[in-house]
Amino acid sequence: MTVRAHIALLSLCWSCQLLAGDDQFSLVALYDASRLNDATYQVADHDYEASRQEIAIGRSGLLPQVAINSRYGHGGQFEKQSPANGQDDQFASDSVALSVSQPLYNKGRWASYEQAKARAKLGEEQHEGAGQGLFDRVVEAYFDIAQVENELKLTTQQKASIEALAKQSSRLFEAGEGTITDLEEAQARLDLTRAQEIELQARRRAALRKLSGRSGITVGNIPEMQEKLPATVLLAPEEDLDYWMLKAEQAGSKLGVSRASIDVAEANWKLQQSGHYPTVALSGRLSRVGQSDVNDLSQRQSTYYLGVVIDIPLYQGGGVSASSEKARAALESARSSYDAQRQQMAEDIEGNYLGVVAGFEKSKALVTAVRSSQVALTSAEKGYQAGVRSTVEILDAQQRLYSAKRDLLDTKLAMLQSYVNLQTRTGQMTRSQLEKIQGLL
């Protein structure tokens, strides 16, 4: 297990201890579990470990190549020698050779080394992006559950209120003081609310299963979300739109991956072009060769060689030119992809920035709407008791109140989701930021 895995495991144990004796799991605890069990993140982790070897592989082509070759065996001739010759046609042979080669000038191997460094950087950027993406997936899955939980809680409360109103309408009708219209309207609204509750319960099970599969632990429930808003907007005064645009340019993982992809493509272009250039290498060889026949006549010879090997390509069927052109087109494609990614990133940053700022203002307005709807419901209930309001008016007032509460919670979740997206798109999301989000739920 890697050091990162040990840290994540300790964090998970710490988070779970905070929740001991409760089947509820916080956002941070589920994130810690997902770092160990999320399959997509594990793939990225292994890919990163593999990419860390790229530089060593590329550098090996620039270093001396040393090898020992040895051979031992028997040989002879197919055509027999004349007996008068007095020599046998069988012999034994053995040899040992030490060879050393050191590239002096080789644009291909140097380009391979530059490409290896670019691939290592690409692996690093992809791993960083996978880490930011994990925050996105966990928060999105957690917020899906939170949204369903909010709607289910409000629907359950609304059902209880409608049930009480339906019972009261039934008693009044039986006593001859109510109308059949009030009774049927309450019953119809109750049946609709029950149907909504069944649908929400199914959605809740599916959302919990999704998060459980991602985190690798059984999630039975999450802490109840509060209607309370943060005291101020989540962004500091100096963190305006230009600030986040600059952060995205400097540290955004997606743009970092695109830039690294350009470097890889450019290095590959130079690698393909290197096929037109000569290579120069220093070569040395030390060998010892022995040969003997059955008459015990033996010969031993030791030799050495030290020199320079020059290889000049003249014509290779046009393959080098075609490969260079293909690599150049791939490089232009990578650059165009970066421009498209940059444009999309700017749009995402602006949308998420406005989602945080406008979401906070909208949430404050919805807090007022909830209070006003509560006052309106109270007035409708008093009017019903006084005989000047109908059941339909109470049901409508209840619906407006629960809709306002639902909109408030949904808007708060959307604001927090925009804040998380803003952090992950700029590569700023950390576990401490996640703890801040958890404290605001």
| CATH assignment at residue 144 | 1.20.1600.10
3-state secondary structure of 100: strand
Residue 293 lies in a domain: no
Are 108 and 271 in contact, with CB atoms under 8 Å apart? Answer: yes
Positions of the chain with pLDDT lower than 50, given as ranges: 1, 3, 5-12, 14-21
Q: 53-85: per-residue pLDDT in tens?
A: 999 999 999 999 999 988 887 777 666 555 555
**pLDDT for the residue 104:** 92
Residue 47 lies in a domain: no
Go through 1-38 and write b for each residue having 16 or more CB atoms within 10 A of its CB, e for each that does not: eeeeeeebeebbeebbeeeeeeeebbbbbbbbbbbbbb
Residue 63 lies in a domain: no
Are 182 and 390 in contact, with CB atoms under 8 Å apart? Answer: yes
**pLDDT for the residue 81:** 56
Are 19 and 29 in contact, with CB atoms under 8 Å apart? Answer: yes
Q: 116-171: per-residue pLDDT in tens?
A: 999 999 999 999 999 999 999 999 999 999 999 999 999 998 888 888 877 777 77
Are 384 and 390 in contact, with CB atoms under 8 Å apart? Answer: yes
**pLDDT for the residue 293:** 64
Residue 211 lies in a domain: yes
Residue 67 lies in a domain: no
Residue 260 lies in a domain: yes
Residue 226 lies in a domain: yes
DSSP designation for 235:
S
Residue 411 sits in which domain range? Answer: 3-37+106-277+313-440
Count up the domains in the chain and report the number: 1
**pLDDT for the residue 46:** 93
Beta bridge partners of 65: 101
pTM for this structure? 0.80
**pLDDT for the residue 72:** 83
Residue 412 lies in a domain: yes
